[in-house]
A = this chain, B = another copy of it.
Amino acid sequence: MTRRLHLAVAAYGVGGPGQHGLWKDPRVPKNASIDIQYYIRQAQIAQAALFDAFFIVDSQFITPDYPSHYLNRLEPLTLLSAVATHTTHIGLVATASSTYNSPFNLARRFASLDLISGGRAAWNVVTSFDTGTSRNYGLEEHLDYATRYGRALEAVQVVRGLWDSYEDDAFPASLDDNQFLDPSKLHALNHVGEHFSVAGPLNVSRSPQGQPVIFQAGVSEEGRNLAAQVAEGIYAPGGTRAQAQAYFSDIKQRATAAGRDPDHVLIFTGASPVVGSSDAQAHRRSREIYDQDNDFDRKLGFLGRSFGAYDFAQHDLDAPFPDVAHLAEKGGRTAGQAIVDRAASQGLTLRQVVETLTEYRPSPFTGAPDTVADAIEEWFTAGAADGLNLRFRALEDLERFAGDVVPLLQKRGLFRTAYEHDTLRGHLGLPIPENRHSVRDQEDFPRGGFA
């Protein structure tokens, strides 16, 4: 099968991280983050452009200096359920924490979304990484990496087990036999593991895609291993093309080592394209956007997120970067350690750390439509991405990408010209997982040896 590019859109309202100033953009309603119609419109535009998936990130802890979108937002599954009935084809990827949800609740809610959407749901598994979030759930300190990732792996296994509670032919609803359910096709899970004990069965049947797709975003060692073991879609950090290639091949190798088909582990690299009438115009626009977002206090506040919602405002901005190495474990460890190392090796002040981290770096996908299409083709063919997870500023920017860049990708044979499937698994070329109980039945009853 020819390898095909995949496109997802990460939907925001008034602006997520790196879009601090988006609320000032007159094209974006001030309440866009909590306006369900704003999300429905984004999904419909992305669907009209034949995108694979519509993706909702999540965060469960805020401080007043967080990005505007994080401050006030809809819970992802609740949001996507509303979007589901106003769309017909695009995949719906909701972020949910395996640390702060029980597997039975997760299994029910994603299975429900999968039925409501006709087989278009996906779960983006996150482990949640800050102390601020843990304090919303009764824990003074969040769980350490090993526990969180062990729990995440087991949670995915339990949830998948629950999703197979009913075989596909479990409901004959036969008047002749006076039988609604065939009880032999309903299976309890009776899982007893290190982190969870879950009996089941789940009271939700399977959708046309069998099970929701599993997404993950792994950067740390534990995260990469989890992604390689269970993820079917991976949200990869952007960075340079060389960095993306290194991440891509690392994950594909780990997946292969874990006995999986690397083509069934699709890497969506994060990208914030800026499309202009010319390369120069696009770069001017890119710089304007940077300046609009350049809110030092908010960047300083958001920096704390990598250190367990640490409050950096208590420190002198022009003194050496404070000693917060021990806090990296409380936040995004990999990111936090990189910041600490950089500050130490370059002798940076707190102000310099913020400015260096957020210095102007135009997206590799900045330019006239042909330039952006060239960059996407290069990343795709060079093995830096199976697809892109695109972030736009306003609906108009998504529309422009859909109208000007997508047709170029189609002309080059990289992207579909019509939906060929009705489910997210179909779009992604992922097989429908056979129900584990049906498979067992087939093994019990050999098909005979006809050649």
- A197 interfacial contact with B, CB 8 Å: yes
Copies of this protein in the assembly total: 2
**Bound Cα distance A202, B421 (Å):** 39
**Bound Cα distance A68, B40 (Å):** 33
Which residues on B sit within 8 Å (CB–CB) of A197?
135, 138
Residue of chain B at shortest CB distance from A36:
B116
Contact with B along A75-103 (1 / 0, CB 8 A): 10111011011100000000000001110
Q: Are A166 and B72 in contact (CB under 8 A)?
A: yes
Contact with B along A46-74 (1 / 0, CB 8 A): 00000000000001111011001011111
Residue of chain B at shortest CB distance from A108:
B75
Q: Are B204 and A34 in contact (CB under 8 A)?
A: yes
**Bound Cα distance A40, B82 (Å):** 12
Select which of B14, B85, B104, B183 is within 8 A of A36 by beta carbon. B85
Which residues on B sit within 8 Å (CB–CB) of A112?
74-75, 78-79
A24 CB, nearest partner CB in chain B, Å = 6
Most buried by B among A40, A104, A136: A136
| Known interface pairs A84-B82, A109-B78; A60-B104 also in contact (CB < 8 Å) | yes
Q: Are B116 and A198 in contact (CB under 8 A)?
A: no
**Bound Cα distance A71, B78 (Å):** 23
| Known interface pairs A75-B112, A180-B23; A203-B137 also in contact (CB < 8 Å) | no
Q: Are A200 and B105 in contact (CB under 8 A)?
A: no
Residue of chain B at shortest CB distance from A30:
B173
**Bound Cα distance A132, B70 (Å):** 38
**Bound Cα distance A105, B101 (Å):** 8
Which residues on B sit within 8 Å (CB–CB) of A201?
62
Select which of B61, B65, B113 is within 8 A of A78 by beta carbon. B113
Q: Are B115 and A36 in contact (CB under 8 A)?
A: yes
A127 CB, nearest partner CB in chain B, Å = 16
**Bound Cα distance A100, B198 (Å):** 13
Residue of chain B at shortest CB distance from A22:
B180
- A365 interfacial contact with B, CB 8 Å: no
Select which of B62, B70, B72, B78 is within 8 A of A116 by beta carbon. B78
- A181 interfacial contact with B, CB 8 Å: yes
**Bound Cα distance A64, B115 (Å):** 21
Interface members, chain A 364-423 (any B CB < 8 Å)? none
Which residues on B sit within 8 Å (CB–CB) of A61?
203
**Bound Cα distance A113, B82 (Å):** 9
Q: Are A199 and B73 in contact (CB under 8 A)?
A: no
**Bound Cα distance A397, B78 (Å):** 30
Q: Are A104 and B136 in contact (CB under 8 A)?
A: yes
Which residues on B sit within 8 Å (CB–CB) of A40?
85
Which residues on B sit within 8 Å (CB–CB) of A116?
36, 74, 78-79, 82
A33 CB, nearest partner CB in chain B, Å = 9
A69 CB, nearest partner CB in chain B, Å = 10
A54 CB, nearest partner CB in chain B, Å = 15
Residue of chain B at shortest CB distance from A183:
B64
- A205 interfacial contact with B, CB 8 Å: yes
- A175 interfacial contact with B, CB 8 Å: yes
- A196 interfacial contact with B, CB 8 Å: yes
A23 CB, nearest partner CB in chain B, Å = 5
Which residues on B sit within 8 Å (CB–CB) of A24?
175
Given contact pairs A71-B180, A79-B81, enumerate 4 new A-B contacts (beta carbons under 8 Å): A23-B180, A72-B166, A74-B204, A78-B112
Report, nearest first, the 9 A-B pairs whose CB atoms are least far apart: A64-B183, A135-B199, A81-B81, A30-B173, A78-B112, A75-B112, A74-B112, A104-B136, A75-B108
Q: Using CB atoms and an 8 Å cutoff, list the residues of chain A in contact with chain B.
A: 14, 23-24, 30-31, 34, 36, 40, 59-62, 64-65, 68, 70-75, 77-79, 81-82, 84-86, 100-102, 104-105, 108-109, 111-113, 115-116, 132, 135-138, 166, 171, 173, 175, 180-181, 183, 186, 196-201, 203-205
27 inter-chain pairs at a CB distance below 8 angstroms, sorted by A residue, are A23-B180, A34-B205, A40-B85, A60-B104, A61-B203, A64-B181, A64-B186, A72-B171, A72-B204, A73-B203, A73-B204, A74-B112, A74-B204, A75-B112, A78-B78, A78-B81, A78-B113, A78-B116, A79-B81, A81-B81, A82-B116, A85-B86, A100-B102, A102-B137, A104-B136, A138-B197, A138-B198
